[in-house]
Structure 1
């Protein structure tokens, strides 16, 4: 089986525009959940604007909040259906202007870091057809099922925006079957198989070469140039965030203070604060992100107690760590460790 093209990114931790966060806030409000519960302390105006961006972990926090306050397969699929090709801005405009579905898929894989996906898509081809496989191996376990469903429903909805007649001929999910698969049928038009080896949607290969109704090669070329510029800007702006993360990781998640990190980066604390704000994040958020990542990795091993993890991350008391971890993930460290135990077994 051959892969159509390698996705531009292999992990979900890339900077994003704010359209997805804004969409989720509106979706939650439609279900009676105020935006303040999902993104406390951040006014919606701060997310509005074509050049605004957020760190992937900020968006993941909103996903967690949506799942916690609404939850369930039906909600995840309904949320995914809200993502239309116009949600993706210039990236979506380029896809809809592509000559064929194959060209649109190649473009999407090439500029995947302009999307909002957490599960990395792989498009595989063989004599039987096209397989769209979602890799959720790096997605946090507590939201992996929710994000698999949201992301695949979003991809399917966008594909139908590009080519209204397209539909999968097969659908598989690794997770167990829900009590009812009606929302799956309503979303994809196909009855899925559960407890499968992979998350996969299969399509007739004839769809690859079908011309798209709004194809325009000149428009695609123009959009590609704008996407190149957008990717370059995002990577440049997010560079300072990565530098701060690297130094915090070297410290094992222990918070040395922004003044010390600024000194290591040979900038003033004021300059560091401004550059992080420009990148759509802040020092405190990065400390939390690094601590959460390291905590999850240590808990995944099953070798350390909650108290040991708290001590290694620089917490004076385990209770402070437990409170912080629940704020990050919506669950306690002990519950997370129990949930992750199967993943930590040999042969993982």
Structure 2
């Protein structure tokens, strides 16, 4: 059963207190991701795959066939796409490389903490590994991950992170699970500025068949295992991070929660409209244009949105309100610059819209 936004955001916040290795060992489970993979996400995951193809002599366009995405849209952090678009790009990439075993492990090493934006900074500034893990699991809906993640202390006293591809389409499952496996290992190294010697990695397990060459993880990789997992020494959980800053972590987590809540609140046709508006950076070109892109009449689009309990104008206001917060608080643009980016005709129209959003869009506050 898919979790709601409220379920996800009611999960306990990551904290530096209340963690005891002895107690956690008895409990076993540290945490698990709570968001199904079928959610809107940025296009940066597709960009990594497209750039990997380019480095091998292919074009971005070859990876984007039938995705509805343009090459230039991959370079915009505010481009929001659906999971099905990323799956389509994945199928294209696999076709280009003839379904090469281990391709996901290769591509996953191209994912960095900076690829994830605010989510990456939230992890980097966490006090300890256990705090980082709980934050990552809580906010997994802001990543490109398709497998479900869980973290636990195993019966033999090790710290294990497990990845499950259950429910992921079979033809892309190996690639997407192994991509996240390699990306996760890369992330742990980058938390310590690439000093892998600090990370007490014991073993890596893959449920899939062996690749033609051993992945450069520095430890044995068991292929054909019962499950896909990464195993560390238990004491790693209390390892302090070199760039820890609880205040920065708290600010990043708060902003991440706002973005996550906004992304998860819409499903179905409303989510498609929302994703398109995000892809356009909030520049609204009319419901008729949206209907054409979604291959339906304007009347049908309005009817579908009404059935889902939302109007086109409401979605436009919600998306623009969220982007406005990002432009003003994260990118530090002026109100005039933000108005221009969002397509408002003048500053006064933008200011009036903010006043309206403060009354109609949950969580929006005009500073």
The within-5 A match list for 1:121-200 is 121-126=149-154, 127-163=156-192, 164=195, 165-178=198-211, 180-182=212-214, 184=215, 186=216, 188-200=217-229
Structure 2: state its 5+ residue gaps: 1-26, 274-293, 320-367
Q: Work out whether residues 269 and 305 of structure 2, in 8 Å CA contact, stay in contact via their aligned partners in 1.
A: no
Q: Which one of the candidate residues 85, 95, 115 is aligned to 2:123?
A: 95
Distance in 2 between residues matched to 1:149 and 1:221, nearest whole Å: 30
Aligned to 2:83: 56
Q: Which one of the candidate residues 227, 252, 258 is aligned to 1:229?
A: 258
Distance in 2 between residues matched to 1:94 and 1:256, nearest whole Å: 39
Structure having the higher helix fraction is 1
Name whichever of 230-239 and 18-27 sits farther off. Answer: 230-239
Aligned length: 260
Q: Which one of the candidate residues 214, 222, 230 is aligned to 1:201?
A: 230
Deviations 1:160-195 (A, max 9, x none): 1113321521222222333x342x2x1x21222222
SS of match in other structure, 2:162: strand
- Aligned CA distance change for structure 1 residues 218 and 63 (closer, same or farther; 3 Å): same
User: Which TM-score applies when normalising by structure 2?
Assistant: 0.65
Q: How large is the RMSD of aligned CA atoms in angstroms?
A: 2.7
Distance apart, 1:239 and its partner CA: 6.4
Q: Which one of the candidate residues 35, 41, 47 is aligned to 1:22?
A: 47
Aligned to 2:241: 212
User: Which TM-score applies when normalising by structure 1?
Assistant: 0.68
Distance in 2 between residues matched to 1:144 and 1:235, nearest whole Å: 23
Distance apart, 1:69 and its partner CA: 0.7
Q: Which one of the candidate residues 112, 137, 143 is aligned to 1:109?
A: 137
Distance in 1 between residues matched to 2:127 and 2:74, nearest whole Å: 33
> Does structure 1 residue 82 correspond to structure 2 residue 91?
no
SS of match in other structure, 1:169: strand
- Aligned CA distance change for structure 1 residues 264 and 206 (closer, same or farther; 3 Å): closer
Aligned to 2:29: 3
Aligned to 1:42: 69
Q: Work out whether residues 160 and 232 of structure 2, in 8 Å CA contact, stay in contact via their aligned partners in 1.
A: yes
Name whichever of 34-43 and 78-87 sits farther off. Answer: 34-43
Q: Work out whether residues 82 and 272 of structure 2, in 8 Å CA contact, stay in contact via their aligned partners in 1.
A: no
> Does structure 1 residue 263 correspond to structure 2 residue 303?
yes
